[in-house]
Each structure stands twice: as C-alpha cells, then as structure tokens.
C-alpha cells in the first residue's frame, strides 16, 4: 500500500499546483496582461502534462494494490480503503477526500478561464471514477 500512498500524495501536490496555475492564468486573463498570457498558458500546459503522467502511474499502482487485496484492478479508492485495516484505511480515505475536493476546485477554476475547456474534463473524469 505504501507505493499507492506515495503516488496519491504526489498527485495531490500536482493537483494543487494545477489549481494554482489555473487561478494564476485566470488573473492574467482578467488583468488583460497580454505580456504574461503565453507564460501562464505554458505553465498551465506543463501542469496538465504532469497530472496526466501521474494519473497513469496512479492507475497502475492502484490496480496493483487492488489485486493484492483481491479486488478488481479498476476498483475505486473507497472500495480499496474499505478492504485494508487501520491506519491504511484512514490514510486512503483522507487522500480520497482531498483529491475529490481538489477536483471540484479545479472544475470551478476552469470555468473562470476561457482556454481551460480543452483539457479540463479528461483528467478529472478518470479521477472521479477512481474516487467514487
């Protein structure tokens, strides 16, 4: 379970960074700071790429962890958490709750950014399925 916990922690950090970059890009867009738009867009694209890579790693690591406890490799995080004892259960559920909150905040932030539509949905769909 330790590899999964490490990946979840890393994914949380990357989603926090993505959220920050979304907010930053929204400020740049509303401030009409044309000088910084390209940089904000590049930072945002970089954050999205890192989230995508980590999401793939999380899916593989979670699948391995699920198989270890006799679950389907596509089992949601809640199911995985319910099959392990403490303190693992609490740790996994804490990560689940934090990831869910971050995903909602990211969705809200994308609505404030006109260019976010091109990527906002794809990362969060598979994350939402994993968190259910």
Question: In angstroms, what CA-CA distances link 6 with 45, 94, 111?
Answer: 24, 13, 30
Number of domains in the chain: 1
Arithmetic mean of pLDDT, 47-74: 94
Instruction: Identify the domain containing residue 107 by its residue range.
Output: 2-131
58 contacts 7 by C-beta, under 8 angstroms:
yes
pLDDT digits (tens, 9 = 90+) for 45-55: 899 889 989 99
Q: What is the largest CA-CA distance in the chain?
A: 54
Entry pTM? 0.83
- The single residue listed with the structure tokens 């391995």 is 64
CB atoms within 10 A of CB 117: 10
pLDDT digits (tens, 9 = 90+) for 78-121: 999 999 989 999 999 999 999 999 999 998 888 877 654 344 44
Q: Is 61 helix (H, G, I), strand (E, B) or coil?
A: helix
């Amino acid at each position: 379970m330790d590899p999964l916990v490490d990946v979840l922690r890393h994914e949380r950090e990357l989603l926090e960074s993505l959220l920050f970059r979304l907010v930053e890009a929204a400020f740049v867009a509303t401030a009409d700071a044309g000088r910084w738009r390209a940089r904000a867009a590049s930072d945002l694209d970089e954050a999205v790429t890192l989230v995508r890579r980590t999401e793939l790693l999380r899916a593989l690591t979670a699948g391995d962890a699920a198989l270890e406890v006799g679950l389907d490799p596509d089992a949601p995080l809640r199911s995985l958490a319910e099959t392990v004892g403490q303190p693992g259960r609490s740790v996994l559920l804490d990560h689940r709750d934090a990831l869910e909150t971050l995903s909602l905040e990211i969705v809200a932030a994308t609505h404030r950014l006109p260019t976010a539509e091109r990527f906002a949905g794809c990362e969060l769909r598979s994350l939402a399925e994993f968190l259910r």
